Chains A and B, each alone.
Chain A
Amino acid sequence: MGLMAIDKRDLSAFIDGLIPQWEVVAPVPVEFKYAFRKVGSFQDVALDYTNTMLPPKKFLLPQRDELFSCNPEGGPSLTPRFDETPRVLFGVHSCDVHGIWLLDDILAEGCSDPHYLCRRSNTLIIGLDCKGPCHDNAFCKDMGTLKPAGGFDLFLTDLGERYAVQVGTGAGTALAERGGFYMADFEVREEFFAAWQKKQSGFPNRIGYDTAALPNILAESYDDIIWEALEMRCFDCGACTTVCPTCYCFDVLDENDIGTDRSIRYRRWDSCQLQDFAAVAGGANFRGKRSDRLRHRLLRKGKYFKEKFGRFACVGCGRCGRSCLLHIDVRDVFNQLKG
């Protein structure tokens, strides 16, 4: 869609103007890190933040998500729970926009996920371009996520005195009509193009080959000794999948009330790296070996999704590598496989 612009001094009025109508979520500082939180004013937003601890997926697929409640009184009845809160995710970097865009495809496919889709249809995404690599293990450039290609309503790029604003959807157009925005003229387009050139050259490649080769490299790695070697560095803690913008697996659990027998079915983030992720009734575990679990995760990131959806299930944010206590980093593994 089109390119617009907004002067920097008008951005705070725009965001503050959204707050009465939407729950506005944005990056805020948490000591020496950042997190997406609900904000009460534009002032709270950390515009020059680096990659948050958890990706914004927690507002579309919360850590604990109640699916339905069951009430035994007057004949059992199920009440599904849907979160229809109108929400704006503001300040999402391009890697995380890619993460959400992928979840949009995955969770709408086949037996779709109505709880996710409900939140998603009530959520507007206003992205914000980062200006340089947020961490020295970020490899977004290699994964092709330096600029957004879908999954956003508006996307802002800092041009100094103003932001260029890519409009991704009709809802984005409607947002821009709230005031402060104007159509990009030739000068804005020039500056926007220059900013993109500058961003591209400012990000180094951190994978030693063209990632187009990744699915094949991973296919050939199936029996590689690397998986056994990685075993010695993994605790089965699932930190890596918890912080990953494209991981969405969950476990479904029941909770009941002993007083009334009312019950709630909820889901909680699960992880393919946990020991009993693939355990089934009767005690069998299809991925009982840690090396199998690690290989599974890496192949999902660099092969399976690419083959199915045409996009990698890794946006190169580097969160997993930074969260792993013994430094298992997807980027390093991808590099070592071609060593």
Chain B
Amino acid sequence: MTVRAGVFAFTSCEGCSLITLEVEDRLLEILGRVEFVNFREAIDDKSDDYDIAFIDGAITREHEVGELMKIRERAAILVAMGACAVQGGLYFLKEYHEPGETLAYVYGDKAGQFDTMPVRPVSQYVKVDHSLYGCPIDKREFVEVVTALLSGRRPNIPDYPVCNECRMSENICVFERGLACMGPVTRAGCGAICPSRHVGCFGCRGMVDKPALDQHRAVLTERGLTEEEITARYRMFNGHWGSAHEKP
């Protein structure tokens, strides 16, 4: 059985779209089972007949909402792909500026030609069946989700913190290097790739379902971070998560 799939990019760098083609040794296997019928970065076809839709990017413009809803109607399964689609991603940083401020900064006197609205994750507008986390998404996890969907099983996506994978990899905790880390509240699945390279986790995969926020704040405070520094770390990838609960 093969399935028809579309990859749709909204407000994003389209890096996550490209990851779907970067799965190296698994690409031919995937292409044997998944027929891409609508994928701006890869093919010319623009079919409206697909089973699975992968959504890359945050929703930041009026017309994107309508397009997204149409895709949702057509697709049996919708997968939000990457930090922008899942959490609003880096684009959500715009929400910490005055309306129009970032537009004017980037486009200067042409700012009037662009419409923009508050940055929202895909789930704000449509039902999301599965999420692929990270900035960018993890190749292995993309293969896992596609394989699971084709096999009719639930994808194995962790709901425990990055610390778990980090300790398993026998890394030296970056807090012991005097750095700060979002790992204790961030969803694992990346293999703790950043701490493994001696930088703190930025939180790109978003929070676990029930993050221990107070405890994390206590750790960061104990290690000497100021309130502003803590807030900046939370805002980087998890601004929307915060605004849905308590704004960081």
Contact = CB atoms under 8 A, between A and B. Distances in A.
Interface in A300-324: 323
Interface of A: 30-33, 35, 53-54, 63, 232-239, 242-243, 253-259, 269, 271, 274-276, 323, 325-326
B225 interface: no
A32 B172 CA distance: 9
B172 A235 contact: no
B185 interface: yes
A236 B168 contact: no
Contacts of B208: 236, 275
B147 A258 contact: yes
B32 A275 contact: no
B198 to A, nearest CB: 9
A235 B151 contact: no
A53 B170 contact: yes
B216 interface: yes
Interface in B204-232: 208-210, 212, 214-216, 218-219, 222
Contacts of A274: 160, 164
A18 to B, nearest CB: 24
B190 interface: no
Contacts of A326: 215, 218-219, 222
Contacts, number: 96
Contacts of A232: 214-215, 218
Q: Main secondary structure on chain A at its contact with chain B?
A: loop
B39 interface: no
A65 to B, nearest CB: 12
A35 B172 CA distance: 10
Q: Main secondary structure on chain B at its contact with chain A?
A: helix
B50 interface: no
A234 B151 CA distance: 37
B247 to A, nearest CB: 22
18 contacts: A30-B170, A30-B172, A32-B172, A54-B170, A235-B185, A236-B212, A237-B161, A237-B184, A239-B164, A256-B147, A258-B26, A258-B30, A259-B32, A259-B33, A271-B160, A275-B159, A325-B175, A325-B215
Contacts of B175: 325
Given A35-B170, A257-B147, A235 B153 contact: no
Please give me the 10 A-B residue pairs with the lowest Cβ-Cβ distance, nearest first.
A259-B29, A237-B163, A235-B212, A242-B167, A235-B184, A239-B167, A237-B161, A258-B147, A274-B160, A238-B164
B111 interface: no
Contact of A237 (B160, B172, B214): B160
B216 A235 contact: yes
Nearest to B158: A274
A276 B187 CA distance: 13
Contacts of B146: 258
